[in-house]
Amino acid sequence: MTTILGLRFRENGQIYYYCAPNQVILAGQHVLVKTDQGPAMAQVALLTENLPQDVEPTELKPIQRLAEQEDLVQHEENSLLAREAIRHCRRCISQRNLDMKLVDVEILLDRSKMIFYFTAPGRIDFRELVKDLVKAYRTRIELRQIGVRHETQMLGAIGNCGQMCCCARFIRKFQPVTIKMAKEQNLFLNPTKISGMCGRLLCCLAYEQSTYEEFQRRCPKIGKKYQTNQGPVKVLRSNIFRETISVFNEHGEERELTLEEWKAIAGETWTPYIPPQQQPQQRPSAPPRPRPEPESAPDQSDTATHGDDGELVAAGLPDDPSQPRPKRKRKRKPKPRRQDAPQAPHAEPGE
């Protein structure tokens, strides 16, 4: 018979499920398993026969064997080495003035690799830090940057409800949480109330979101007016716990109705209320004004335009309006003559 084991790799950490075919294992014992990083030791937290709903049967992997006394001693030495590595790494970070925060150190059972988890606001050039760590411990070094949610998941914390944070207990994959969820659940948008220990929105906001969405689909939209057999009403608010809505009728009264009562007065299909449009008063149209007749232009055929010196430039208008008007000729002023420089008198020879 195959026994399903719930294993913890950290104290108060989340549970991962493995199987132990044809082995008798008790809760509290230590076992060796093979992970993506390498061999690791875990403690049996629980025994069960059924997998949780969020775990697929294909993800279930077998354990290697029970941990022996040598494995337990090696695991204890690795724990002491991890604490010393945290202090040494923090000193190196301070000496090199790196903008990063060391969270935890994980050492594989055979010490083939050491993983340093850290947080940082941006990208960090830690190549020199890796050289310092390799020189100190003579093994493979991996620096892995994580987010603030994973930091709280690894360290653990007490939430606003007084219990251990959900991410440290059972959450394996983080779901996206938005401020729209808090609005739909009628919560006060106070950052200290809807934020967790990591500074992000509470993960528990997503637990009941499907219930709120299903209730909102059965309710009319808040703030809208609808036509009912009792006249137009406006929906003010809804109460998911009592499954009621509050409406405001045309007589100025506020009533609380259940969803069944709402369907009785509004029907299965809700009709939005459309107020009657007020038609504007039509003013009598004024009689059209007579258009003024264009004045006839004076006959300019006899008029003449003379230049400055009395020369005739244009006489009257051209017969064809499409022909351009002749340009006025301008009299050019004579340029002043250039005076030659006076020449020196030529002296006669012998004078």
As a whole number of angstroms, the distance between CA 165 and CA 149 comes to 11
Beta pairing, strands 140-145 & 113-119:
parallel
Q: Tell me the DSSP string of 152-170.
A: HHHH--B-TTSSB-HHHHT
pLDDT at residue 312, as a whole number: 46
Question: Tell me, what's the pLDDT at 279?
Answer: 45
**Do residues 161 and 203 touch, judged by C-beta distance below 8 A?**
no
Residue 182 has pLDDT above 80, yes or no: yes
Q: Above 70 in pLDDT, residue 178?
A: yes
Binned at pLDDT 50, 70 and 90, residue 137 comes out as very high
Whether residue 170 is predicted with pLDDT greater than 70 in this model: the reply is: yes
Distance (Å, whole) CA 100 – CA 126: 10
- How high does pLDDT run on average in the chain? 80
pTM: 0.63
DSSP 321-336: TTSPPPPPP-PPPPPP
What is the set of domains in the chain, with CATH numbers? Answer: 2-66 (no CATH), 73-146 (3.30.300.20), 179-205 (no CATH), 219-272 (2.30.30.140)
Q: What is the pLDDT of residue 87?
A: 94
* Rounded average pLDDT over 108-132: 90
Report which of residues 288 and 110 the model is more confident about. Answer: 110
Say how far apart CA 172 and CA 15 lie, in whole Å: 9
pLDDT of residue 82: 92
Quick: pLDDT tens for 46-102: 888 778 777 777 778 888 888 889 989 999 999 999 999 999 999 999 999 999 999
pLDDT-based confidence at 152, cuts 50/70/90?
confident
Q: What is the pLDDT of residue 303?
A: 46
Q: Residue 343: what pLDDT?
A: 53
Total count of residues recorded for the chain: 351
Question: Has residue 295 got a pLDDT over 70?
Answer: no
- Identify which has the larger pLDDT, 68 or 270: 68
- Provide mean pLDDT across the span 230-236: 89
Mean pLDDT of 163-184: 85
String of b and e for 191-229 (b: at least 16 CB within 10 Å)? eeebebbbeebbbbbeeebeebeebeeebbeeeebbebe
User: 104-120 burial string, b = 16+ CB within 10 Å, else e?
Assistant: bbbbbbebeebbbbbee
- pLDDT, residue 301, reads 46
Is the pLDDT reported for residue 283 higher than 50?
A: yes
